[in-house]
Structure 1
Amino acid sequence: MTTINPAGPFNLATSTRFLEGFAPAAYEGAGDEVLRLAFPADDGKAVAGAALRQETDGTVRVEITGAADAEAVGAQVRRIMSLDIDGTGYPAVVASDPIVKGLSEQYPGLRPVCFHSPYEAAAWAVIGHRIRITQAAGIKAAMAARLGETVTVAGRPVAAFPTPEVLAEVGEFPGLTDVKIARLRGIAEAALAGELDAKRLRDMASADALEQLQGIAGIGPFSAELILIRGAGHPDVFPRTETRLHRTMTQLYRREEPSAAELADIAADWAPFRSWVGVLLRVHREAVTGEIARGRAARA
């Protein structure tokens, strides 16, 4: 059992609801206040399961299953839930922006719930390229069921996305073109070579990390930002290619056709939590528009 004491606001129930609406996760809660996760461990070989519960004092308890190193899995869970970040300064950032403050009150204790790894985020970017998000989510879930390992987590079976070692050997899969299969194998090889290591990406200057990620076949500027922000869990990157976020900011801040640079200037006040606020705005947009639930085409 691993214990996490969140530094700053965190609410597991709010984060679980966020995950239930996050199409790539295809997550369905069991209604018992336990968040169940299964994923390839950061070592690229083993598969881990984690059951998260939050006590009334805010403490998060994590029950880890699987053959992966428990300490390393605990660190990975912290990153997935954005609990590896000291969020004590986040309320002050939120309070300084009336628009952000109003939205945050609707989602108390929300932190970004990330992809299980940069590897899985990169795989999602390729799977979802130029098809509907709901279709991509179905393919990703089918890959987990057919190619991944199923782990029992808090009494329930949960299928994990295939490990890089498995994905590197895939020759075909329903719904995926030959080009996507080749690119997925390339992503698996990049993961095994350490090119998608979360700590390495976060330790680099953001511009350098984004440039390196775009050196992987199939990863463009939009996907690179996704991998860095939602895969590696970088807390302070403003996505310059995320048009849905830009449209939301344009509406909320009442700007007339602002450039990405002008929006980045607004976001500068959110530092060092620009990624977190960006996710909050995206959650708001989906609550208002339901565009992902309706199956809009994924961008990657």
Structure 2
Amino acid sequence: MSEMIFSHPEPARSKTRILPIFMPFAGCRTRCVYCSQTIQTGTAEAQLKNIYNFLQQILENAEDDAAFEVAFYGGTFTALPFEWQKRLVSLAAHFKESGKVSGVRCSTRPDAVDREQLLLLKDLGLRTVELGVQSYNNTVLANSKRGYTEDVIVSACNTVIKCSLELGVQLLPGLPGMDGKIFQDDIRKTCSIAPAVVRLYPCLVFEDTVLARWFARGEYAPWALDETVGALGVGLLDLWRHGIRVIRIGVAQEDGLTDSLVAGPFHPAMGNMVRSEALRCLIVEKMQMLNKPFSRLFFPKRYQGELWGYKGAHKAFWKSQGLTPENALGWNLPVFQMD
């Protein structure tokens, strides 16, 4: 009897409590072909003063020791007037002493990163900068009207890291001109940069966007759901193996989002489906290393849903490999074992 024991490669998950402050389109100088920020965040455009007052009210009413990480999402934070950047970061950091706030993060574009400003914001309390990279491929970036190139991305990532800030990278698989090979290349380049966290947002088509017009004219076709899950599953496994935490897979289902969705690989269980595909790829790889059919699989019980897939999507595959609920036995140890 052959035996193989291995661990799940996912890095430990963070228990940080995020307090998202959405700033739709704030600081953005252009609108990208896929952008529908107001729809995706579920909020209307807001003036910076209103956002400031809104955040102040939330934090004043929060419990002490809530330990929120305040996150400025939805716009290009570092392209706001710098005085407003300082005011918003300082406001959040003001509540650190009471334990209401543990840190501050923001999302921005790679071409809106300035080293001196980041260092000042870090001194005021900024801890994490998430860059909307979307892709490193220059053709894809041009098709999506992002307005920057791979060199700008790499420089921005290095600047964030050299400022001793935590780096986050957001990727958008399925953009115009992107195929699976380009996406896996994006994953490889992300792993080489080694950000602390990554978000994976499959490209969707929303009403009132350039993509919607292209889609209506047959000039753009979004990835199919199964294609998306397969590509992201492989990419997710690679990111995990490089010690990179993936903190979001797929767009959150906000009120009104599906009403405005025209096309694309949206699914409310996208994260579970991709994690399940990554686990399937991992076990298949281990089977090939074992070089013989396995008779039993022991695995941590918390992975039972991911093993069989969303609504049992992988049961037929595993049955073809000789694995059934009878010889796949959940247990409490944090490792997988194959006989």
What range describes the TM-score normalised by the shorter chain of this pair? under 0.3
Q: Which protein shows a greater Rg?
A: 2
Calculate the TM-score normalised by the size of structure 2: 0.22
